Amino acid sequence: MAENAKKINIAICGGGIAGLALAAGLKKKDNIDFHVYESVPEYKDVGAGLALHMNAIKAMTLIGPEVRQVYFDKALDLGEEDQVMSTEVILAQGPNQGELVAELGKAKGRKTVSRADLLDGLMELVPKEKVTFGKRLDSIEENDEGVRIRFKDGSDARADCLIGADGIHSVTRSYILGPDHPATEPKNHDGWQIYRTMVSSEYARQHINPKWTQTVPILLGPRGHINCIPLNKGTRLSAGVAVRGAKFETSGKAPDLDPALYSDYSDDAQRIVKMVARDTSASWTAADHDHAPTYFKGKVAMMGDAAHASMPFAGNGAAQALEDAAVLDYLFSKVTDTAQIEAAFSAYDTTRRPRSQEVVDLARKFGRVYAYAEDGMHNDPTKMKQFFAGAAAFTNNADLQKQNDDAMGLFESAVKGGADGVEVKEADPIEVVA
Ligand SMILES: Cc1cc2nc3c(=O)[nH]c(=O)nc-3n(C[C@H](O)[C@H](O)[C@H](O)COP(=O)(O)OP(=O)(O)OC[C@H]3O[C@@H](n4cnc5c(N)ncnc54)[C@H](O)[C@@H]3O)c2cc1C
């Protein structure tokens, strides 16, 4: 790039995993200037524990080995470095109680990380002056010069384009789709309530099988599935019961978690439910997005949960956010003129929308399978195993370098041939054996 050439100025709204991972890649590009605007004054640990699957690690590596390293530095080893471990999905109720039906994210040196720890690590890669906290995006306006964004505190900023990484309740999404579009607001079609507690690992070991404080189990049954995730280098445990079809009061309040409803679950599962029921203060109501018809409009695009929030059951939301960041980071390495921004966003949309929306669908299906609500699949553990194996192959085995290259191919042909040269491809069919 010529020394005096004008850099492309990108505003990123939202400094979560998506926004910061993208920023960590963009800071290495001479043709790009960027700024991250994050709404909260500081990060708080909201209790989300992440077990990043293979595609997340691959995406981080594409952005840069240092991004991947942050994850390895901040994460907790679940076992010995060489030990092969996984999220064990086990039937906890019914005639096949105790049967292991899936080993998700099976890998050597399996890890989990708290969202707050991962964000701290990513922040170390982004120059401090490039991130402003306490800036809540309120409205967006496009004009010939680019994008003007206004914040809740009355201030504003200008940029050549905006990438909204502002999470499930995204203002950017509302701008792109329109506030009244049926896919704008998150939905909870299956009535999921996640009862969750955060305890010290020491406390947990006194109340539940200590085995479940060191690994990531998902114990299945028709009145809810139970899940534990060790956090903060093994000093804390996030434990939860996810209930489908919860009978919410008209005020929106979920009913109390009643351990008596789980008396036909395995003993291990019952002990975890009892521990969670003692303190459900970390509970939340899950939601996801119906499919957006586009991930961009003009010079405004959305990524991560803003574009495709999914139920947490397939454990791939952050991974999809990182795949978005990898593709956008790669595309913007070649954007040298503001006139090329829309072609980059279009290539990103075409490449990432089908796959990320398949994951939203897949996560919903995981929820139904976990709740024994998918065509009697729980009566046939072999079928369940096939389903999980097919899903894992779809998320983990994807060739992400090819995904980046496909996006770049679309961008380059659009830039060479004009926007009409962009070929819009349909999603490759997902192969989930059910
Ligand atoms: C309990 C739980 C477990 C999960 N487990 C896994 C897992 O094991 N593996 C996995 O891959 N995924 C998992 N996920 C999903 C994963 O956490 C999300 O998909 C991921 O965090 C999305 O990142 P994001 O940056 O797009 O959004 P967010 O993490 O929501 O970040 C959005 C950021 O934008 C900020 N923001 C919001 N509004 C504005 C605004 N108006 N202006 C400026 N900033 C704004 C927010 O403060 C936030 O910092 C899990 C989710 C949950 C809830």
User: 283 C-alpha to center of ligand 1: Å?
Assistant: 16
Instruction: Please tell me the residue having the least CA distance from ligand 1 atom 50.
Output: 312
Residues 53-78 as b or e (16 or more Cβ within 10 Å = b): bbbbbbbbbbbbebbbebbeebbbbb
- Find the domain containing 54 and state its range: 8-80+111-187+288-421
> Distance (Å, rounded) from C-alpha 59 to C-alpha 400?
7
Q: Considering its fold, how many domains does the chain have in total? A: 2
Q: What is the pLDDT of residue 85?
A: 63
147: part of which helix (H) or strand (E)?
A: strand 146-151
Using a 6 Å cutoff on CB, does residue 164 contact ligand 1?
Answer: no
Instruction: Verify that 162 and 259 share a domain, yes or no.
Output: no
Using a 6 Å cutoff on CB, does residue 48 contact ligand 1?
Answer: yes
The identity of residue 143, as a single letter, is N
121: part of which helix (H) or strand (E)?
A: helix 115-125
2 domain-assigned: no
Using a 6 Å cutoff on CB, does residue 121 contact ligand 1?
Answer: no
Instruction: Verify that 272 and 306 share a domain, yes or no.
Output: no
Instruction: Verify that 293 and 381 share a domain, yes or no.
Output: yes
Cα four-point dihedral sign 191, 370, 84, 77: positive
Instruction: Verify that 180 and 312 share a domain, yes or no.
Output: yes
Inter-residue contact 90 to 272 (CB < 8 Å): no
Which CATH number do you get for residue 235? 3.30.9.30
User: 4 C-alpha to center of ligand 1: Å?
Assistant: 37
Give which of 146, 421, 138 is closest to 298, Cα–Cα.
Answer: 146
Using a 6 Å cutoff on CB, does residue 136 contact ligand 1?
Answer: yes
User: 16 C-alpha to center of ligand 1: Å?
Assistant: 6
Which residues does residue 148 pair with via DSSP β-bridges, in sequence order?
141, 158
Instruction: Verify that 42 and 148 share a domain, yes or no.
Output: yes
Using a 6 Å cutoff on CB, does residue 243 contact ligand 1?
Answer: no
> Distance (Å, rounded) from C-alpha 413 to C-alpha 426?
18
Instruction: Verify that 295 and 203 share a domain, yes or no.
Output: no
Residue 4: CB partners within 8 Å, gap ≥ 6? Answer: none
Using a 6 Å cutoff on CB, does residue 186 contact ligand 1?
Answer: no
408: part of which helix (H) or strand (E)?
A: helix 400-417
Instruction: Verify that 50 and 119 share a domain, yes or no.
Output: yes
Return per-residue pLDDT of the chain as tens, 434 residues: 655 679 999 999 999 999 999 999 999 999 999 999 999 998 876 656 687 888 999 999 999 999 999 998 888 766 556 555 678 899 999 999 999 998 877 666 667 788 888 999 999 999 999 999 999 999 999 999 999 999 999 999 999 999 999 999 999 999 999 999 999 999 999 999 999 999 999 999 999 999 998 888 999 999 999 999 887 767 889 899 999 998 888 888 889 999 999 999 999 999 999 999 999 998 989 999 999 999 999 999 999 999 999 999 998 999 999 999 999 999 999 999 999 999 999 999 999 999 999 999 999 999 999 999 988 888 898 999 999 999 999 999 999 999 999 999 999 999 997 654 444 444 444 444 33
Which CATH number do you get for residue 18? 3.50.50.60
User: 305 C-alpha to center of ligand 1: Å?
Assistant: 6
> Distance (Å, rounded) from C-alpha 225 to C-alpha 244?
9
Q: What is the pLDDT of residue 22?
A: 98
Instruction: Verify that 397 and 312 share a domain, yes or no.
Output: yes
91 domain-assigned: no
